[in-house]
Amino acid sequence: MHFLDQAKIYVSSGQGGPGAVSFRREKYIQYGGPDGGNGGKGGDIIFKAVEGLNTLIDFRYAQHLKAQRGKGGAGRNRTGAGGEDRIIKVPVGTQVLSEDKEHVLLDFTREGQEELFLEGGIGGRGNASYKSSTNRAPRQHQPGEPGEEAAVWLRLKLIADAGLVGLPNAGKSTLINFVSNSKAKVGAYPFTTIHPQLGVVQHRGREFVLADIPGLIDGAADGAGIGDRFLGHIERCKVLLHLIDATGDDPVAAWKTVTKELEEYGGGLAEKPQILALNKADLLDDELMDSIAEDLRAAGAIEVLPLSGATGKGMDAVLDKVLEAVGGHSSIEKKDQLASGIDVDGDEEEKADWSPL
């Protein structure tokens, strides 16, 4: 399934049905009179967050969504049937934005959340409703009121407890594959990950959801590389796990670059607690790792944890920190908002526990 996190759609509620003009004409009844019924109400536009969805790809092929119009009234004072509501199913984490993307109209943060967006038009009055002592045979009636329509943007922000950030090739995909059953693509070239990945991590009898987003580079906030488009997927995270490639040319510069891009993006990302992990520790000796960690602390980092996403060394210490920040859920609980095909791999083997450098 292709991943799509933004889509523009056009929605319109149903028009109300017209009222009827009708008169009783029955044998043996001397005076008939008007008996035209009212029209039915048009259908509403309703958004509903459901489980089983984690992309907006369906809206690429169905962009115009309309509710059913109400049926017209009929004789014998019969009211027309109301139009069927159009329920638009979206993933948990979806926001409905105005056409200019300046205003958040609806925000879906839990499964089953349902919101009325556009009301259908009211049905028109039939001629029976116009009858009076001075107007015994009215022929006037009302057409149904028109429905409402709008063009809106849907934007998906995945629901995750913790988010992975770092430069391209920092080892984020390798890590999420190791700690969960995610199948993120891994390659020795930049931007192997081109859309967010989710994985459910089990640790010490608890579980939390981890999100991996494409790597950031200098100028991402201005559109460089893949840009900052996917940073919205970690706005709801409680903590960020910042990975730095220990084998890179300048780990301190890498840390500063990502930190700067988070600050320039806004959305409260710079204020979120961060866990700094020096990745690919299996490729360097302890002395060199200590030296890099010291440089990072001198640049302003508070705590640096050594980690190997490939072998799992130091993973327990890092996951302990993440679990402390997010709280986690019992392993027997269902992570309802992620019931989108992500199963939990319960066979997590013991890994060596390293202390911070």
90 and 178 together in one domain: no
Q: Give the model's pLDDT for residue 82.
A: 97
Domain end residue (candidates: 125, 140, 156): 156
Arithmetic mean of pLDDT, 53-73: 94
215 is in an annotated binding site: yes
281 is in an annotated binding site: yes
Q: Give the model's pLDDT for residue 112.
A: 95
172 is in an annotated binding site: yes
The residue among 338 and 133 whose pLDDT is bigger is: 133
Q: Is residue 347 part of a domain?
A: no
d(CA 221, CA 246): 24
Evaluate whether 13 touches 67 at the Cβ level (below 8 Å): yes
279 is in an annotated binding site: yes
Q: Give the model's pLDDT for residue 134.
A: 92
71 is in an annotated binding site: no
d(CA 34, CA 47): 40
2 is in an annotated binding site: no
User: Containing domain of residue 180, as a range?
Assistant: 162-338
Evaluate whether 212 touches 184 at the Cβ level (below 8 Å): yes
pLDDT digits (tens, 9 = 90+) for 139-161: 999 999 999 999 999 999 988 89
User: First vs last Cα of the chain: how many Å apart?
Assistant: 41
Q: Would you say residue 339 has pLDDT above 50?
A: no
- DSSP 8-state assignment for residue 178: H
Q: Would you say residue 162 has pLDDT above 90?
A: yes
141 is in an annotated binding site: no
Domain end residue (candidates: 123, 156, 189): 156
In this structure, what CATH number is given to the domain that contains residue 4?
2.70.210.12
Q: Is residue 50 part of a domain?
A: yes
177 and 323 together in one domain: yes
Q: Is residue 357 part of a domain?
A: no
138 and 171 together in one domain: no
Q: Is residue 8 part of a domain?
A: yes
**Total number of domains constituting the chain:** 2
Give φ, ψ of 171 to 5 degrees: 100, 20
Arithmetic mean of pLDDT, 61-78: 96
100 and 31 together in one domain: yes
43 and 95 together in one domain: yes
Arithmetic mean of pLDDT, 243-259: 92
Arithmetic mean of pLDDT, 40-58: 94
* DSSP per-residue letters across 54-83: ---THHHH--EEEPPPPPPPBTTTBPPPPP
175 and 146 together in one domain: no
Q: Is residue 20 part of a domain?
A: yes
Q: Is residue 343 part of a domain?
A: no
76 and 5 together in one domain: yes
191 is in an annotated binding site: yes
The candidate with the shortest Cα–Cα distance to 126, out of 116, 139, 114, is 139
246 and 118 together in one domain: no
308 is in an annotated binding site: yes
Give me the chain's average pLDDT, please. 85
149 and 8 together in one domain: yes
193 is in an annotated binding site: yes
94 is in an annotated binding site: no
137 is in an annotated binding site: no
Arithmetic mean of pLDDT, 314-333: 80
Q: Would you say residue 343 has pLDDT above 50?
A: no
pLDDT digits (tens, 9 = 90+) for 88-110: 999 999 999 999 999 999 999 99
Q: Would you say residue 21 has pLDDT above 90?
A: yes
282 is in an annotated binding site: yes
275 and 308 together in one domain: yes
Q: Give the model's pLDDT for residue 59.
A: 95
Q: Is residue 345 part of a domain?
A: no
166 is in an annotated binding site: yes
65 and 140 together in one domain: yes
Q: Would you say residue 197 has pLDDT above 50?
A: yes
Q: Give the model's pLDDT for residue 224.
A: 56
280 is in an annotated binding site: yes
291 is in an annotated binding site: no
Which residues lie across from 244 on neighbouring strands?
278
Q: Would you say residue 86 has pLDDT above 50?
A: yes
310 is in an annotated binding site: yes
In this structure, what CATH number is given to the domain that contains residue 285?
3.40.50.300
143 is in an annotated binding site: no
In terms of pTM, does the model score above 0.95?
no
194 is in an annotated binding site: yes
Domain end residue (candidates: 121, 141, 156): 156
Q: Is residue 79 part of a domain?
A: yes
167 is in an annotated binding site: yes
Q: Would you say residue 292 has pLDDT above 60?
A: yes
